[in-house]
Structure 1
Amino acid sequence: MENDNLNKLWDNQANDISNLNPKDIITKAKKQRNSQYISITIMSLTVAILIIYAFYYAFNQWNTFNLGLIYMISSLTLRIILEFNSLYLKEKRLISMTQKSYHAYLKKYYKARQKLNYVITPICIAVYIFGFYLLLPYFKEYFSKGFYNYILISGILSLIFVIAIIINSIIKEQRFLKQLHK
């Protein structure tokens, strides 16, 4: 996608649909796309670590520890797939639309993202937390008290950090959606 071609296309059209000019929309879309790439990268690394651990240590026999790992891996994998799908659909549409139709598409896109943010993401987080909860008895049994406390505290802090990032990105998307409605 060439920004210059997109700018020329949009500059040739009437800009009566919003206070945002094409450069603003492109800049905001790039920022949002980059944050999606960062989210996908972090989730993918977490999934890779969990899968490596699961195949190396966990799947010798079936138990709730394995179930917890599967819940954690599944919730993150679903979220990664949804983020990639969302990202791909948006970029695919961007190339072929005029400014006015893209503006309308962005409104629909961010409304659909609200469903992802307010329904699917909390479910994924809850499943991930439940999976982590299923691992805790095994950690407590097999690790020292100090290392167990480290896992527990770092796990909780990591979840809080990730949830804070998710909330921050949701707030940014909401602000952008409000700007699109002006």
Structure 2
Amino acid sequence: MENDNLDKLWGSQGNDISTYTAKDIITKAKKQRNSQYISITVMSVTVVVLLVYAFYFAFSQWNTFNLGLLLMISSLTFRIVLEFYTVYRKEKQLISMAQKPYYAYLKRFYKIRLLINYVITPVCIAVYIIGFYLLLPYFKEYFSKGFYTYIIISGVISLLGVIAIIIYGTIKEHRFLKQLNKG
């Protein structure tokens, strides 16, 4: 993205629509995009670990363990694809639109992000939890009691950490949408 080109394009329209400058919007967009890339990276690493484990150990015969892994991998993969789609769609719009239409686009974009965060993400988390739950009987059978307890505790703490990060990101996006609606 070229700041100078966007400044010139948006500056030619006047600033009667908002108090945000082109640099303000670009800075917020980059910050939000970077947080999405971090989310994508964390989810991708988790998917890779699950896939390696699944192909190395699990898929020799079909059972509820494999179903659990499949649910976990599917929910994360869906979220990764969704995040990539929103990142690149927003960036494409930023480059191709003038300030006023892009400002309106941002409002729509963040309303859609709220739908993703309040509907799709909880469904993905629920599917992931179901998948994890399906793995637990196998973990209990094949691992020691101490390691099984570790898996449960670390799994719950990791999941709560991810949920906290998602909630924090959702709150930030919600605040930005409120700012856009005021502007």
Q: TM-score range by the shorter chain?
A: over 0.9
Q: In the TM superposition, what is the alpha-carbon distance from 1:20 to its structure 2 partner?
A: 1.7
Aligned to 1:102: 102
Aligned to 2:177: 177
Aligned to 1:44: 44
State the distance in 1 between where 2:17 and 2:149 align.
Answer: 55
State the distance in 2 between where 1:119 and 1:39 align.
Answer: 18
State the distance in 2 between where 1:7 and 1:180 align.
Answer: 19
Aligned to 1:6: 6
- Is 166-175 or 21-30 further displaced after alignment? 21-30
Identity within the alignment, %: 74
3-state DSSP of counterpart to 1:61: coil
Aligned to 1:132: 132
Q: TM-score, normalised by structure 2?
A: 0.97
Q: TM-score, normalised by structure 1?
A: 0.98
Aligned to 1:58: 58
3-state DSSP of counterpart to 1:16: coil
Return structure 1 stretches of 4+ with deviation > 2 angstroms: none
Deviations 1:124-151 (A, max 9, x none): 0000000000000100110001100111
Aligned length: 182
State the distance in 2 between where 1:19 and 1:8 align.
Answer: 16
Structure 2 residues without counterparts, runs of 5 or longer: none
State the distance in 2 between where 1:136 and 1:58 align.
Answer: 14
Q: In the TM superposition, what is the alpha-carbon distance from 1:4 to its structure 2 partner?
A: 2.0
- Is 5-14 or 23-32 further displaced after alignment? 5-14
3-state DSSP of counterpart to 2:59: helix
The Cα RMSD (Å) is 0.8
Q: In the TM superposition, what is the alpha-carbon distance from 1:11 to its structure 2 partner?
A: 2.2
